[in-house]
Amino acid sequence: MNHDDHVALLRDGIHKSSGVWADLGSGRGAFTLALADLLSARSTIYSIDRDKNSLGFLRREFVVRYPNICLHTIVDDFNHLLQLPKLDGIVMANSLHFQTNQLHTLHLAYNYLKPSGRFLLVEYNICQGNFAVPYPVSFNAWSSLAERVGFVDTHLIFTRPSSTFGEIYSACSRKPIE
């Protein structure tokens, strides 16, 4: 996949072009960069990953390409409570399938969101785990998990073939207005 694919996977889940977002499990930032393409100047993105070197790579790339968007990189495990402001949205791309306790992870994320905040998930649409995707989250599984956590309006945003695992999809869910 390339940058245009990453942008396409997120585009229809962004309902306004500014705000405060987080990318949980961002790695080298492919989806952080895609998110920055979709947000306007003066937006803020928190990029969280355990790998300091990956976040360093992202920071160097980001400041050149998006000087008007504020990037905060946080070296931490997103399965622990993070000190984040209330968020307009969260991107979680290809990181939920590594979590053994997905409900715990999702409850943390849900609580970071403002009312009506959006949660964008990017995952492989497979049901059986393997070496690279140990705990897969098919779209049907995501719909069920999202409902259990309290998300509403879960819908498929985009799909594209994957040379590795059949299909990759993106979905959007929303925290209800309280």
Would you say residue 165 has pLDDT above 90? no
Q: Quote the pTM value.
A: 0.94
pLDDT interval class at 91 (50, 70, 90): very high
Q: Which region holds residue 49: left if phi is over 0, alpha if psi is between -120 and 50, else beta?
A: beta
Percentage of the chain beyond pLDDT 70 is 98
pLDDT per residue as tens digits for the range 120-131: 999 988 677 667
pLDDT of residue 129: 66
Would you say residue 132 has pLDDT above 80? no
Query: Which has more pLDDT, 91 or 126?
Result: 91
Assign residue 92 the CATH number of its domain. 3.40.50.150
Total domain count, the chain: 1
Please report, in angstroms and rounded to a whole number, the separation of the first and last CA atoms in the chain.
38
Q: 146 is in which domain, residue-wise?
A: 3-174
96's tokens: 């939920």
97's tokens: 């399938």
d(CA 149, CA 109): 10
Contacts of residue 110, Cβ cutoff 8 Å, sequence gap at least 6: 119, 149, 150, 151, 175
pLDDT interval class at 139 (50, 70, 90): very high
pLDDT of residue 136: 86
Amino acid sitting at position 23: D
pLDDT of residue 166: 77
101's tokens: 């306790």
Going 160 to 163 to 167 to 173, the CA torsion angle's sign is negative
pLDDT per residue as tens digits for the range 16-74: 777 999 999 999 999 999 999 999 988 999 999 999 999 999 999 999 999 999 999 99
